[in-house]
Each structure stands twice: as structure tokens, then as C-alpha cells.
Chains A and B, each alone.
Chain A
Amino acid sequence: MSYDVLIAFGIPLCTTVFSIWFALRGREINFKQWSIGDRGLGTLLVWFLSAGEIYTTFAFLGATGWAYLYGAPGFWVFANVALAFTLGYWLLPRIWVVAKRHDIYTLPDFFTIRFGSKWLGALAAIVGVLYLIPYTQVQFTGLSLILQVLFPGSISKTMAIVVAAMIVLAFTFTAGLRSTALAAAVKDVMVLAVIVAAIVLIGTVPHIGGIVGILTEMKSRHPDYATLPGMMPQRGYTPLWFMSSIILTNISYWMSPQLFQATVSAQSPDVLRRNAVLQPLYALLFLPIFLLGFAALIALPGLKVGDTALLALVAHYYPRWFIGATAATGMLVAMVASSGLLLALATIFAKAVYRDLLAPKASDAQVLRVGRTVLIVAVVVAALLAIRSTSTLIIVALIGIAAVAQLAPGLILSLVWARVTKWGVLVGTLIGVIGTTVPPVITLEKSISFTIQYGLVALAVNAIATVLISIAWQEHASEAMDFVVFRE
């Protein structure tokens, strides 16, 4: 085993040992501590945990992929996090307060309690799992992609995924959320160091001529790259598409189960507000990421998979120690993100399905055992899916986002409007899910929406249906008022 592979595996392994040791130190692990850090995470850990959940392999590789293939259409990622926390500044403290008051851990719990309906909670749980499994698989696939491109021929896909799955299992199984947040801190330092170093070293790559060279070359080779619809106009990435993508992502952003869980694990609403102020700045990292994507297009045109652009650039032109460090960072990114996803899945099962629906009298130890069992099953399923499938990162994740997005009108409305009912949410969500998963309906939506994201059309119909049915079919839910009035 050469020293670059040693760096690649050594850093994630050390991080795992450190974060488990640190998270376990002086703490007794019960279900609440394991799943939501006993609602005790301060500003720093919430910042790292959110960054760990947001900046996944998909975010980094996908962003360079978009820069490489399309140019300007990829710029929407800058707005993604910035607007998510603009909404989050208002939304997240409200979620936190009701979650604390009603012992809510997950998104399905929220629906069960607000609407007094176990079936609605079960539906939310199913949608959540449908989102979490492919998203975890995407992380594993991304990880194996990273290792295969950086160390061609020396590491098999199966081995990479099995090792990663075992590390992820190790630190989610024992200490849960807190160790994920600690590992996320190490990951962020690595990410920052690697990206800064990559930009500094780009000056040494032949025939590119540093950042100035990248920009001049791009302008002369691809004059339209930096305006919409970008380098592939036939894809229809118009300004209308761009704006609707940002709005769609924004509305649905906080529906991701893993982000909901990071929210309720915070110490106080003020921690969430401070995080909302500072977290957007992290997205500035996309500027060097895009420049590296453009550099890859100049130096290595014609790559088959756009998502490998960043990795191919590193593998071709950078020193070996740097390849090792990049691989280690990529592994950490994928592992932290998938830990958060798997933990969200396990918590949904253990809390929202097992304790709230199936066995209300279960002891804390039993719930924790169920959570850990589900975790093992989910790791195995996600790893198997990743070993067998070869789909591109962005497509799978976008489909997942589209399905989970449909819970957004129900959740946001229930925090501002006491009259929204379970039937409204149920019908609205079903319409939304049909509108984003059934191909003929998608074709119809695309034909009437010009270049607006079809998911936004489905979301609008969902919201209208939710409101109309809630008005038409009034029903009293005992907790409704409590969710609307905001008291800290």
C-alpha cells in the first residue's frame, strides 16, 4: 500500500476513533443523547453538523460537474444555502420551540403531533425513508467514485464501499449524533485546507496559467459559459428555470429529515439564529470550486461523467500527497453526510414508527436497540445499492428532493395557520408526490410550465389543494393553536 492510499484511509480512521472517544467521554448514551445529542449542541457543533449535512459529496462533485458541463446554470448553488438560512432564521426557532415542548425528534413526529394523526406521521416516515436511502447510496457511490478516480486500478469499488460502510456504522452505532458533529468539524478543516491548497497549486498546472488564465481561456473557448442558459442551451436552463429551481429548493429545504434532526438537536433558538447568520458564508467555497471545474474543462475536455471533473483534475496534475489528502477529505465528506442520513433514518424508525405507533410503552433501552438495529440494516441496504447501481449523482438526489419537498406546504402552513387540517395535508402531499414521480404527469407539467421546474408546479398544486381542503373540511386538532403562537 503506497503512502497516498495510507493518507486516504488513515485520516478518516483517526477521525472516527477521536470523535467516538470524545463523544462518549463522560456521557451515558441513551436514546435522546444518541439521536439528537440530548438537545444540547452549542453554536459551534450545530454549525459543523449543518455544514456536514449540507456540503455532501453530491454538493462538491455535483457543483464542479455543473460548472464543467453547463457553466452558469450551476451558479444556483450559491443561493441554495444563503436563502435556506434566510428562511431558516424565521422557521427554525419556531420548529425548535414546538419540538422541545412536544418531545418531537423527527419530521414524522411533527406531523403525528400537530395533526393528531398517526397515519399522517406514518406517511411522512415513508416519504422520509424513500428520500434517505437513495441519498445515502449517493454518498457511498460518490465515495467509491472518488477513490476510483484518484487511485485508478488499486482500489475496487466494492472494497471502498465496504470499508466506508463499516466506518460509518462504527461511529453512528456507538455514540450517534454527537460523534457525527465532531467528525464534521475535522471534515470542515480538511475541506477548507484542500480547496485553498488546490487553488494555490493551480498555478503549477501546465497550460492553464492560474486563475486569470482559466477565466481568459473560458471566455475565448466558451463565450456563453457564464450567462444562462449556459453551455448546453438545448437543456432549457433558462433564467426562469434558474429562479424556479432556487425557489423550489428553498421551500423544500428544511424538509430533509437529517436537517430537521440537526435543528432539534440545538441547545436553544438563539443557537439556530446565530448559525443562520453565519452558515451562508460557507457557500463562498463554491467560488474556488467553480474555478476548479472550469480549469478541468480547459485541461481535460471530454470527460464522460461531469461529476468526476474535480477528481480527474487532481488525479492528473497534483502531487501524490495532495491526491491522498483529497481522497481522505472526500471520504470524510461522504462519511459525515451518510452518518447524518442514516441516523435520521434510524431515529424515524425508532421514535416515529416504533415508539409512537407500534410500542408506546417501550423502554428507552428498547427504543435505542431498535434504532441501532435499523441503522445496521440501512447501512447494508445503502451499501448494496451503491455496489450494484451506477446512476449519476445529481439525478437520484434531485428525485429524492422532489418527493420530500411535498411535505413543505403542510409543515410551513401548520406553523402560521391553525386551520390547516390533516386531510388538507394528506391530499396535498399525495397530489404533490404523484406530480413529481409519475412520468405522464411530469410530462404534462413540463408542457404547461415553459422552463419552470416541474417540481415547483407540483408544489404549487399541492399547496393550493392543502389550503382548499382545509377550508372545505374543517376539523379541530387540539394542538393546532400551540404550533402557530410563537413563544420562546
Chain B
Amino acid sequence: MAKGTHRHWHLLLLLVPYIWAVALIPLVNKAQGFVFGLPTLLLWMGCTPICATLCLGIVYWWDKRSSGPEQP
């Protein structure tokens, strides 16, 4: 069972995209500046897909690694 609980912690990574695209919005919206010529909020929201794919990719890799040997 210890292994089972251990395996679930990485799922917390799934919260990162929510923090990125929801919780941090009031803060990011206050930034008036420009990054690489793009308005901050546009660039921030535009990076949400990359953030999600990175987090999901790590979780997937982790899942595969921990369930790998059990599979036939």
C-alpha cells in the first residue's frame, strides 16, 4: 500500500495548469508590460497549452515508469 500512496503524489502536478490559467489570472492581469513584443496576458495564456503538455507529459512518464514492470 505504501507504494500505492507514493504513486499518487505526482498527480498533484495536474493542479499546476489550473494554478497557471485560473488562480494566477488576477495577478497576471495587473502586469501592463510586454514580453517579446507580446502583451503579458496574451503570452501567459498562450503558454497555457505548453504548461499543460509539460505537466501531463511528466505525469504520463511517471505513470509508465511505475506501472511498467507490472505489465506483461
Contacts and interface: CB of A to CB of B under 8 A. Distances in A.
Contacts of B41: 72, 75, 226-228
Contact of B59 (A75, A79, A89, A282): A89
What is the interface of chain B mostly: helix, strand, loop, or mixed? helix
Interface size class, chain B: 20 to 34
B14 to A, nearest CB: 5
A215 B37 contact: yes
Contacts of B56: 85-86, 89, 276-277, 280
A227 B38 CA distance: 12
Interface string B41-55: 110011011111101
Contacts of B48: 78-79, 82-83, 280, 283
Interface in A65-113: 72, 75-76, 78-79, 81-83, 85-87, 89-90
Contacts of A87: 14
Contacts of B37: 212, 215
29 contacts: A72-B29, A72-B42, A78-B21, A78-B48, A78-B49, A79-B22, A79-B48, A82-B51, A82-B52, A83-B17, A83-B52, A89-B14, A89-B56, A90-B11, A215-B39, A225-B39, A226-B39, A226-B42, A242-B25, A243-B22, A246-B22, A277-B60, A280-B49, A280-B50, A283-B48, A283-B49, A284-B50, A286-B46, A287-B42
A82 B60 contact: no
A85 B50 CA distance: 12
Contacts of A282: 49
A290 interface: yes
B42 A85 contact: no
Contacts of B11: 90
Interface residues of A, number: 38
Interface of A: 72, 75-76, 78-79, 81-83, 85-87, 89-90, 212, 215, 219, 225-228, 239, 242-243, 246-247, 273-274, 276-278, 280-284, 286-287, 290
B71 to A, nearest CB: 10
Given A72-B42, A75-B41, A287-B46, A228 B29 contact: yes
A246 B14 contact: no
Nearest to A245: B22
A82 B14 contact: no
Nearest to A228: B29
Contacts of B32: 227
A293 to B, nearest CB: 11
A85 B52 contact: yes
B7 to A, nearest CB: 13
A215 B40 CA distance: 12
B1 to A, nearest CB: 15
A277 B53 contact: yes
Contact of A239 (B26, B42, B59, B60): B26
Nearest to B67: A488
Contacts of A273: 60, 63
B52 A86 contact: yes
A276 B53 CA distance: 8
B21 to A, nearest CB: 4
Contacts of A246: 21-22
A227 B59 contact: no
A86 B50 contact: no
A242 B23 CA distance: 11
Most chain A CB neighbours (cut-off 10 Å) among B18, B32, B48: B48
Contacts of A227: 29, 32, 39, 41
A274 B37 CA distance: 33
